[in-house]
Amino acid sequence: MTSIGFIGLGHMGGPMAANLVKAGYTVRGFDLSQALLEQARQTGVIPCASLAETVDAVDTVITMLPAGKHVLSVWEELVVSVPSGTLLIDCSTVDIDSARKAHAMAAAENCPSLDAPVSGGTGGAAAGTLTFMIGGHENVFAKGQPIFAAMGKRIIHCGGATAGQAAKICNNMILGISMIAVGEAFVLGEKLGLTHQALFDVASVSSGQCWSLTTYCPVPGPVPTSPANNDYQPGFAGALMLKDLKLSQEAAAATGATTPLGAKATELYRLFNELGNADKDFSGIINLLREKSGG
Ligand code: NAD
């Protein structure tokens, strides 16, 4: 069976690597954090002291790193450390330009590559129910599919190189905007004397229905599992939402797309982060809207 090198064992990469082990893969792991390497060892990952040691005798390498600059610096070393033909997969969420450069680096060393960002958060990573959105050649996608199946539930081939990142950026722009829309509706409902439950009962079966309302409701009560019921502990942190919205605005500027609500959402999440909420769940933006409405 395929043996896999996994680089970046953080909130997402740690549980994803553990699920690969559970599925029977041999997984060699690397992270700059010793503590995370130790945690990974406990899930059956073979901890390695360097990138070179991690990719020794593996046929696939997965990276799950914070941002484009980390991916490019790791891939620069990676592509010259593996034999040609090694499958390289980046699951991080990065800007389109970095994704394009990573694919080009891999192609220059005759390594097939995929951009494969995920949605589903840390819960989905632990449960093995992530959604993968994948960019790259169809034949390469087919090669990677069993690996994705060990970590996720929905695996979608979005098109050629960078299409996965494009889908991720567009999806999360919808998410950021829709969470603000739902938050605004609850704050307006409060002003109008409407209970949270009444608004939820109507909107969740009417045309206002969306994931930000029905799965991730930003007020406590209607959806008991949403972070609002747990003092907005993430979940999906405000810092990550701002990161993804900034990627959408970079992509919009580069392509000439007009995204006025994406721009406004970016501005509001920037303020949310500046006010000390970077570590709070992004659905906590409702509290900013409530404060701006006079409490
Ligand atoms: P994280 O910060 O917890 O993990 C990243 C890991 O990469 C860290 O442990 C860090 O030490 C390691 N790292 C950085 N540079 C390295 C290097 N040169 N060599 C080896 N290791 C290195 O981040 P995360 O929450 O796991 O997110 C990872 C990616 O997934 C990000 O791009 C994020 O946007 C995306 N993402 C996160 C979530 C989420 O809910 N956390 C959801 C979807 C997508």
Tell me: ipTM over 0.95. yes
Q: May I ask the CATH class of domain 166-292? A: mainly alpha
> What angle separates helix 285-292 from helix 163-191, to the nearest 10 degrees?
40
Which atom in ligand 1 lies closest to the alpha carbon of residue 119?
Answer: 43
| Percent with pLDDT over 70 in the chain | 100
Beta bridge partners of 27: 4
**241 close to 248: Cβ distance less than 8 angstroms:** no
Helix (H) or strand (E) holding 89: strand 87-90
pLDDT by residue (tens digit) across 221-240? Answer: 999 999 999 999 988 999 99
Q: May I ask the CATH class of domain 3-161? A: alpha beta
- Tell me, in angstroms, the distance from the centre of ligand 1 to residue 114's CA: 17
Whether cis (ω within 30° of 0) applies to the bond prior to 44 is no
pLDDT by residue (tens digit) across 251-288? Answer: 999 999 999 999 999 999 999 999 999 999 999 999 99
Q: Which of 69, 101, 153, 168 is catalytic?
A: 168
**For ligand 1, atom 38, which residue shows the shortest CA distance?**
121
Q: How far apart are CA 158 and CA 6, in angstroms?
A: 23
| Percent with pLDDT over 90 in the chain | 96
The residues spanned by each domain of the chain are: 3-161, 166-292
Give catalytic status of residue 69 as yes or no. Answer: no
